[in-house]
Amino acid sequence: MRKFSQGDIIRIDGFKNQLFVIVSKNAFIKATGVFHVCPILKGLHPGPIHIVVQGRNGTEGTVVCEQIKLIDPAARSCSTGDSLNYEIIMNISDTIQGIFEYD
């Protein structure tokens, strides 16, 4: 199985022309063999839980942090095309964590 990492921008078989970013920690991916992703949409306005990103290879869009999905790459074919830098990954992770914090 291919190695996937936090911050990878991927395509998932069955989601036509849709990009996703892997948001799970690398330790989680290694321990479970699955990972969480959020979709990257084009033309969506930024907001508190919609983070504008640009990949290292130029991929652009807005990560929709509230739309978290669990993916098993053994069950779905996934391919990596780009990745995000660490600062953007931290911003996305902080946003997702903020959704689930207690009041």
Residue 78 sits in a domain whose CATH number is: 2.30.30.110
**Domain membership flag for residue 63:** yes
Location of structure tokens 């130029």: 58
**Domain membership flag for residue 2:** no
Q: How many domains does the chain have?
A: 1
* Alpha helices for the chain (secondary structure H): 26-32, 86-100
**Domain membership flag for residue 1:** no
Q: What is the pLDDT of residue 62?
A: 98
Question: How many beta carbons lie within 10 A of that of residue 21, not counting itself?
Answer: 28
Q: What is the pLDDT of residue 1?
A: 57
Give the model confidence (pLDDT) of 54-97 as tens digits: 999 999 999 999 999 999 999 999 999 999 999 999 999 999 99
CA 8/CA 6 separation, integer angstroms: 6
Give the model confidence (pLDDT) of 2-39 as tens digits: 799 999 999 999 998 899 999 999 999 999 999 999 99
Q: What is the domain extent for residue 15? A: 8-100
**Domain membership flag for residue 90:** yes
